[in-house]
Structure 1
């Protein structure tokens, strides 16, 4: 591994970082933190971050990621509504695991999303990373859907998304965003642990 190249890349990326990217990173990290804490502020902070990233991704030709951030925005509205409206007699919407049918549906959603995005990127855009852009986008697509429904497995989808996003954004010169996804990976691991414990408590209640 060429550490000098990595260090120089970080220095150049930080020097070129825009204030807009910095704001997006702060709100993005805040959103993941609130999600881990099962706090509804996950949605307003996420909305701000995703709207900024729609513009940023357009500038660096990450078209699928641009689309997923637009999707995040709409799913944040949906999730905000779901979390704010628990079933009658329930104080909150409980954290639960997916059923076997839910797992199958999630995998099918990922496969359809990946294939659709990949075909769009190679045929209608000038993307130079269609495989990876499609992969992170489709995985995040599933993760956001599961988070809105308060399913434990959303964190598994985020961990996979974040791990692949770290080198992808670094390659694109968005060093601070790459670092953000590294932090996201750590937070997602903690989030998975916290939500597993929470799901057990909800099940025993």
Structure 2
């Protein structure tokens, strides 16, 4: 109980794991993905209130569905970054045979190189955002989701942002800001206070991450 409001510990812990994953994403390290997956599993049980008997007893299918989506996309991201990391280490050691993973792992902390998405990629994101939000809102409303339109954008934006992170597109930070702007009011009205609070924290963190990736791009233009 916090201020007379019942709070689930798994909601708090799941969001902390999510924040840790976001930090790992900013630092471009591979462990960001498995840490995030743990948080996804915990939060899935939080947002299906009717199935897991949460204090709110509300179903937010977009919030729950995005946890499943995160599991799938995060598996892709984990694989993609792991391959990029191994390739980077291989290139470094080939250029300098004296360098090793143990003695001088220069490439092991940066699994992806940030870049802006191309015009074609941006257009694809916009088209997907519009059609996916409309389609998901229709589905969520039919299922009885609480706040289907906001829930639909959160699901769609989360999918785009996670995929963008896996591809190394700097725009993914901006998409997260759009998700946070919609997510905070929705979660407050639904009574998921820890998640709403951490969405605010995410917002500040996302701005930090965006600036960090911009600096990396400036220092590594190619």
Which band: TM-score by shorter chain?
0.7 to 0.9
TM-score normalized by the length of structure 1: 0.88
Question: Which digits, 9 at most, give the CA deviation of each residue in 1:89-118, with x for residues without a partner?
Answer: 474431111000010011111112101101
In the alignment, structure 1 residue 29 sits paired with structure 2 residue 19: yes
Instruction: Using the TM superposition, give the Cα deviation of residue 58 of structure 1 relative to its aligned residue in structure 2, in angstroms.
Output: 0.9
TM-score (norm 2): 0.82
- Between the aligned partners of 1:114 and 1:143, the Cα distance in structure 2 is 14
Contact map agreement 2:15 2:43 (CA 8 A) in 1: no
How far apart are 1:42 and its partner, in Å?
A: 1.1
Q: Residue deviations 1:16-73, cap 9 Å, x none?
A: 1112112112211111111112122211110011111111111131001111110001
* Structure 1: gaps spanning 5 or more residues: 1-9
Q: Is the 8 A contact 1:110 1:141 kept in 2?
A: no
* Partner of residue 185, structure 1: 203
What does residue 45 of structure 1 align with?
35
Structure 1 residue corresponding to 2:140, chosen from 115, 118, 121: 121
- Superposition RMSD on alpha carbons, in Å? 1.6
Equivalence map 1:1-205=2 (5 Å)? 11-13=3-5, 16-59=6-49, 60-86=58-84, 89=91, 91=107, 92-123=111-142, 125-204=143-222
Shift of 1:128: 3.0
Moved over 6 A (4+): none
Aligned length: 192
Q: Which has the larger radius of gyration?
A: 2
Q: Is the 8 A contact 1:51 1:69 kept in 2?
A: yes
Q: Which has the higher contact order (CA 8 A, sep 6+)?
A: 1
